[in-house]
Amino acid sequence: MNASNILLLIIVVQLVSVNLAFEKTQNVLSKSKIIHLNGSIGPESVAFDPNGEGPYIGVADGRILKLQLGSNNRLFWAEFAVTSSHRRDCTSPFAPKMEHICGRPLGLRFDTKTGELYIADAYLGLQVVGPKGGLATPLVQKFEGKPLVFTNDVDIDDDVIYFTDTSTKYQRWQFLTSFSSGDTTGRLMKYDKSTKKVTVLLGDLAFANGVALSKNKSFVLVTETTNFRILRYWLKGPLVGTHDVFVELPGFPDNIRINPKGDFWVALQAIRSVPSVSDSKFGMFSFNPQQMGDDGELHPTALKLSEDGQVLEVLEDVEGKTLRSISEIEEKDGKLWIGSVVMPFLRVYEM
């Protein structure tokens, strides 16, 4: 079978998949437990180190925190790392005008071999910090002589780091303008650790966001938030160097994280409750961002997809009263750790 026939077969499979109804919808996320951040907000990404310790989160004041157990058997958040040395005025839990100075860590990933933590800082680019934490070291802050404008997420494959640059025009604090303008300057990029070379794999993306490698490293996924879809870029096989649509979605996809089985958890920031997701089909679902708030409530959703894009599980908080934002779902030891770029807490759902 030649490459064109393989591509056609993949497209047919996708069309069948996206027209499947959400048969396994569960309205359970309101039951998730809260872990307060105590003076911080916005744990956009969640990561555990190679020893299983954590979680580690990046917060809006520019710090990366680690959840630890104190001598009194109480959990507390300890400062682990920062992405900027300019910390003197970084005292407010939320100060958008200071993010370019203090840093705003978004996507987090540990290298399981070295214990290093790779950080996508929205303003300060791709960075890395050692297992003991401290001040992170910048790796990529410019491309072809121009500064990265909005670094967002990251994933690791041995010597190669994949990351997204959401826009070449708009910084993180301007994300609403990026949405409304129809900006398509986002990029999926890679950084080679040995050569320090940076390459653009995909350009012209609509709000390039989450990144996730498949279990066998044959492809990498990237979310196009404002196009309501996930793209697949092939790294191996007969389609290497090409890309296709992995899945169309009924809401705004944020980060993607792989679980131990090789399935993907996708965080949908907003999804319509009219019509009900449980009664809708991907292929028939219409979502217009300009209608947000006009009819029905918006609510976040955790969506689990197979390695070929089929819907395996849908977890919701339909009323959206206790969980109004999801930016990432990290599965570990039978629990889902749920991050949010705007909330002052982390949530944990026991499966």
For the segment 127-165, what is each residue's pLDDT rounded down to a tens digit? Answer: 999 999 999 999 999 999 999 999 999 999 989 999 999
- DSSP, res 39: S
Numbers of helices and strands, H then E, in the chain: 3, 28
- pLDDT at residue 57, as a whole number: 98
Query: Can you read off the two tokens belonging to residue 36?
Result: 């307060």
CA-CA distances (angstroms) from residue 234 to 128, 153, 161, 207, 220?
A: 26, 18, 15, 20, 7
6-11 long-range CB contacts below 8 Å, 24 or more apart?
A: 6/238, 6/239, 7/239, 7/242, 7/244, 10/239, 10/244, 11/244
**DSSP letter string over 260-324?**
TTS-EEEEEEEEE-SS-GGG-BGGG----GGGTTTSS-EEEEEEEE-TTS-EEEEEE-TT-SS--
- pLDDT at residue 7, as a whole number: 36
Please state, in angstroms and rounded to a whole number, the distance separating the CA atoms of residues 197 and 227. 29
Please state, in angstroms and rounded to a whole number, the distance separating the CA atoms of residues 110 and 239. 29
- pLDDT at residue 10, as a whole number: 35
Please state, in angstroms and rounded to a whole number, the distance separating the CA atoms of residues 224 and 218. 20
Q: What are phi and psi of 170, to 5 degrees?
A: -120, 135
Query: Can you read off the two tokens belonging to residue 178?
Result: 């990026």
- pLDDT at residue 297, as a whole number: 56
- pLDDT at residue 27, as a whole number: 85
DSSP strand pairing (243-248 vs 298-305): unpaired
- pLDDT at residue 284, as a whole number: 27
Show the low-confidence residues of the chain (pLDDT under 50).
1-22, 272-296
Please state, in angstroms and rounded to a whole number, the distance separating the CA atoms of residues 340 and 342. 5
Total domain count, the chain: 1
- pLDDT at residue 176, as a whole number: 86
**DSSP letter string over 170-214?**
--GGGHHHHHHHT---EEEEEEETTT--EEEEEEEESSEEEEEE-
Contact yes or no for 160/137 (Cβ under 8 A): no
- pLDDT at residue 76, as a whole number: 93
Please state, in angstroms and rounded to a whole number, the distance separating the CA atoms of residues 341 and 43. 6
Domain that holds residue 249: 3-350
Show Cβ contacts of residue 89 under 8 Å, excluding neighbours closer than 6 positions: 98, 101, 102
- CATH value at residue 302: 2.120.10.30
- pLDDT at residue 324, as a whole number: 79
